[in-house]
Amino acid sequence: MGADMQTGSERRIAALDALRALAAFLVLASHVAFWTGEAGWSGVGIIAARGDVGVAVFFALSAFLLVSPWWPDPVAPRTRPGAGRYALRRAGRLLPAYWVAFIGVLAVGAAVGGRTGARPLPGVHLIGDALLLQGFTQVTPQTFTQTWSLTTELCFYAIVPALGAVLARRRAATVLAAAAVLGIAVQGLVAAGLGHGRVGAALGMSLLGHAAWFAVGIAVLGLRRGGRRLPVPDDGGTWILVAAAAFALSCTPLASPGTGPGGLAAPHPGQAMAKEALFALVAGALLLAATVPGRSPAWVAAPLVRHLGRVSYGVFLWHLVVLQVVFAGLRLPLFGAPFGWVLVLVTTATVAVASLSWRFVEAPAIRATHRDDRAGARP
């Protein structure tokens, strides 16, 4: 269906695809900035390093979409999915592509890991990583470290049915506000030294530590589902400006510590809390922009944008191992490579690999797990 013939609902779905594509690219750019060393030396690098805001966008999107069947809809009541069907569909979306990428990471690591300083994963942790437990263990291959967020996603998936029942009551706003405040406070406590080493890192990366990012996604769902009027002009441009302003603040010393090579300096508690809150604001504002009632811009339905949205999970899974191959193949020095053309090369190669993942792994798994049990019924 052409962009000019799409309905408002289809445009809004396309806008969410565009948001997925943006989130994946931001995460990719942040890792390129760290590996090349640009994150510690230039304004462009500092901005790129804050691309980890893409994780907040992913979490908010997950919350917005997955809680939707449980949130009361007075206009179009929905049937809540059964627990078995829900679990099967979540597993089909997440695990097959993850396992293929995990095998690829291990294979590439064995072949070229020594050239980039990557150490083999201890055998005892292979099973844990295969089961997506690395967010708890904090042990995973160097080129799969971004997958800590999948542990957090799994934890969120597990509580969605119960969470939906709680939020269906009238005090949803209070619950969401409390969760957001708690998550931001946890980040401050972790930065202040609550827990040490892997324990502190696991707490900061947990569902509890990032509750604010999930809470804003559910809050946007409640606003859109309830049809409430917002206290500001509700148009995409306004919310994009809000997101841009919050992102700009996250790049300042308010939320970003001084950085050296690689940009890995630890924040103090105030910075950690400010970053968590600002990232939540960025994610919420972008989600509000993508779900403005009425017609979304025609460009969000462009074939390239839709494709990048579809392959965003593959981009997330594969970009670090592609980065490893680029550094090893071109013998680039860690923290000393040119940011611009490495970004272009890694982006191009990752989209190609992610497209194959979508075509041969993700799409078939989605079709298989979304078949209707009734004979002859369409998914």
Q: Sign of torsion, CA 338 341 344 348? A: negative
Instruction: Judge contact between 221 and 64, C-beta under 8 A.
Output: yes
Burial of 26 (0-12, 13-18, 19+ CB in 10 A): buried
Which pLDDT value is given to residue 187? Answer: 96
Residue with the two structure tokens 């025609």: 298
Assigned token pair, 34: 């760290």
Q: Which of 213, 218, 215, 219 is nearest to 275 (CA)?
A: 213
Which pLDDT value is given to residue 188? Answer: 96
Which pLDDT value is given to residue 261? Answer: 42
Q: Write the DSSP string, 50-110.
A: GGGHHHHHHHHHHHHHHSGGGS--SSS--PPPPHHHHHHHHHHHHHHHHHHHHHHHHHHHH
CA-based radius of gyration for the chain: 20
pLDDT per residue of the chain (379 residues) written in tens, 0 to 9: 333 333 344 455 789 999 999 999 999 999 999 999 998 777 898 899 999 999 999 999 999 999 988 877 666 666 677 888 999 999 999 999 999 999 999 999 888 866 555 555 656 678 899 999 999 999 888 899 999 999 999 999 999 988 877 776 668 888 899 999 999 999 999 999 886 778 999 999 999 999 999 999 999 998 888 766 777 778 889 999 999 999 999 999 999 875 444 456 788 999 999 999 999 999 999 999 999 887 677 788 889 999 999 999 999 999 999 999 999 999 999 999 999 999 999 999 999 999 999 999 999 999 999 875 444 444 3
Instruction: Judge contact between 163 and 67, C-beta under 8 A.
Output: yes
Which pLDDT value is given to residue 74? Answer: 62
Could you give the CA distance from residue 180 to residue 347 in angstroms, rounded to a whole number? Answer: 33
